[in-house]
Structure 1
């Protein structure tokens, strides 16, 4: 039996963040990851000199970026230009992303240009929390007048969140994410795997014990208190605090009698978000100007991340294409749609192909902020003292990786506040 103050289950971004902050607070911390590598969906695979992420990744000016900066991560990379194109009825047109393109784009009428210009001016000051309980469709249809400006908003907000569910998605959080996006995004040199390596190094420097290739099979609790973690190889880890950074369904499976706890509610209300992703490394771009494209009447997105980051040892251009998926998924059809998008944007790309990666149904997040949520998950499981959850699905208003880091810090903050409350009665005891 090993004994720690804090045991973290899962070695993705949330798990690494939680482990680092717990260790920084002076807690003996162990992190257990079932795979050989850390990072989860933030891994990067190198193929023929090109660095491929697991799906499209970009760091917004949100909680994750500020957290990583606060931890001292270097995060080498660059901020890409926002100049781009939109696909409408099978044709490419410049998107109105700046003053010049706003007035020259053929996509919008003069009235539409004026309305979009007004929105771009006031979005930065918008109090998005006012719309946390309103669906995205309700917000767009009630606030945006011009039909093409509506299409543009649907596209921008879909790209910011990866979600294709305007009747379900809560408007406030995704509008806040769009505000972050308008400040620019960061593409990372050598992909997000390089960021994971930095997080791992920070964890080791803080004294976190990292165990890989060992699957947690149960989180034992007794008399309303978390007791220990049981691993597949028989190892038992006793801990005062256990942080689960697994998906909600896995957390539910790991905890005996979870159906009697909030874990059941969180599992039942979760709505998974998926995408089909095609990455290609090209020797050169047939059309060098067309590197950033939004689908306006189809749920696709294209970005040449090499325009801002080092993603190939051989000088290849690494392009990511996404098909944001709803309930209907068809791997072959989605690949065809992505390849047809590439045909439109970079005709002749097959003659320049170095390597490609197709992920037909990758999980983007296991839940998101939607109007049918009964409650926001975590950080604590109320029925079991010492048990916590974190991950992109445990959002309290944040999206994607911002939710991963924010929820991880919430879990650690809850641990520290709980211990502080336990000490306070003794420290302030009055002797009469």
Structure 2
């Protein structure tokens, strides 16, 4: 039986990133993915020549972007326009994102506009960690006086984090994410599947063994130390170190006696984030200027991600079909039929006549964005090591130490490998 120094459960962004860094450090590494393809929620499905992500994806200039650049990934794509609108009581009004819209928009009073400008300047250099211990709601209600400006900030923070829980979400990490968003985001050509493929190619180059269609059923540990991985069908893989990049509930199930470890706390404190996503391919946009629209009085966001003859944002079809995405940020209670109807009604306002231009559509009624985030009910940040079992580590979007979304996936993967290597210093994030 071949023994691996590092076995990684899950072949999404976190799993592939961890595998690459482990292999680069000279460790014999294997990745075990349950599905027949790698990528997890970063896969891209091609339908009728249109590249659909699982909902619109944007890459911020954060930890993930820096790591991908460090690894030499191409990251082909473009940065979208900053021109944006707000939707308030079914009116589409320009947001003050440039000099012209700042002067002309009726959305904010002059006082509100000046406050917005002041806070955007502050955000560029502010240490957001001073707000780690209070919620977004507390931050907004104490720092912003103008009622409409509060709505704008709720929308900006909701959109950059995907989280609809201002009373729970820690303000510091959310404001840090907004800082990243203000630096510009990257939409990837042909979807995030290209990113997954680049990571796969690099992992293979580094000697990582990639196994798909392999369902792990248990992480075997003896005398408080990782021993092996048991797969469905009885296959056993010996490994001295295991990194779980599975969701918290799955990680908990895979480890015998997990209720006696920190995995139990991390699983119980996790609050998943979901959205309803309506992705649509159109022959053309009925209203070209409506590229990005933030819901101010309802938790929605509209984005146009495909190139339309201009050098932005990204190539998402083979024949010029325009790809748009509409989100509804969800709370604990969801209703698929109601959510889809609401999204269609919003689209009627944003892009009237869109049905006449319809090529293809994809509706995801409850898409998990992350399995946990930095919130006020958290008892502790998860990982990277499970302290009760030597050689067991975790990574993924839910193992955040302040990062959000794919930044949490990549940063946690690097933390896990760093601790596994027993280095004195963590890999520079």
TM-score normalised by structure 1 residue count = 0.96
Deviations 1:357-391 (A, max 9, x none): 00000100000000110000000000000000000
Match of 2:229 in 1: 229
The secondary structure found in structure 2 opposite 1:417 is coil
Match of 2:148 in 1: 148
For residue 342 of structure 1, report the CA deviation from its aligned partner: 1.1
Give yes or no for the alignment of 1:45 onto 2:45.
Answer: yes
Give yes or no for the alignment of 1:410 onto 2:415.
Answer: yes
Give yes or no for the alignment of 1:371 onto 2:371.
Answer: no
Match of 1:260 in 2: 260
For residue 71 of structure 1, report the CA deviation from its aligned partner: 0.6
Give yes or no for the alignment of 1:386 onto 2:387.
Answer: no
Match of 2:58 in 1: 58
CA contact (8 A) 1:2 1:236 kept: no
Deviations 1:43-70 (A, max 9, x none): 0000111000011210000001011111
Distance 1:254 1:2 in 2: 21
CA contact (8 A) 1:214 1:233 kept: no
For residue 233 of structure 1, report the CA deviation from its aligned partner: 2.6
Between stretches 256-265 and 119-128, larger displacement belongs to 119-128
Deviations 1:272-305 (A, max 9, x none): 0000000000001111111111000000001000
For residue 271 of structure 1, report the CA deviation from its aligned partner: 0.1
Distance 1:169 1:292 in 2: 24
CA contact (8 A) 1:75 1:195 kept: yes
Give yes or no for the alignment of 1:362 onto 2:367.
Answer: yes
Match of 1:317 in 2: 322
Between stretches 357-366 and 107-116, larger displacement belongs to 107-116
Deviations 1:86-135 (A, max 9, x none): 10011100111122212211100111111111111111111100011111
The secondary structure found in structure 2 opposite 1:356 is strand
For residue 201 of structure 1, report the CA deviation from its aligned partner: 0.2
Match of 1:343 in 2: 348
CA contact (8 A) 1:15 1:31 kept: yes
Distance 1:68 1:171 in 2: 27
For residue 29 of structure 1, report the CA deviation from its aligned partner: 0.1
The secondary structure found in structure 2 opposite 1:336 is helix
Match of 2:102 in 1: 102
Match of 1:116 in 2: 116
Distance 1:98 1:260 in 2: 54
The secondary structure found in structure 1 opposite 2:7 is strand
Distance 1:274 1:150 in 2: 23
For residue 322 of structure 1, report the CA deviation from its aligned partner: 0.5
Match of 1:286 in 2: 286
CA contact (8 A) 1:275 1:362 kept: yes
Match of 1:299 in 2: 299
Distance 2:331 2:151 in 1: 17
Distance 2:392 2:55 in 1: 31
CA contact (8 A) 1:10 1:31 kept: yes
Match of 1:34 in 2: 34
For residue 2 of structure 1, report the CA deviation from its aligned partner: 2.8
CA contact (8 A) 1:283 1:352 kept: yes
For residue 227 of structure 1, report the CA deviation from its aligned partner: 0.6
The secondary structure found in structure 1 opposite 2:153 is helix
TM-score normalised by structure 2 residue count = 0.97
The secondary structure found in structure 2 opposite 1:14 is helix
For residue 269 of structure 1, report the CA deviation from its aligned partner: 0.2
Q: How much is the aligned-residue C-alpha RMSD, in angstroms?
A: 1.0
Between stretches 298-307 and 93-102, larger displacement belongs to 93-102
Distance 2:284 2:56 in 1: 20
After the TM superposition, which segments of 4 or more aligned residues of structure 1 sit over 4 Å from their partners? Answer: none
Give yes or no for the alignment of 1:395 onto 2:405.
Answer: no
The secondary structure found in structure 1 opposite 2:360 is strand
Deviations 1:223-249 (A, max 9, x none): 110110011132111111100000000
Match of 1:134 in 2: 134
Runs of 5+ unmatched residues, structure 2: 308-312
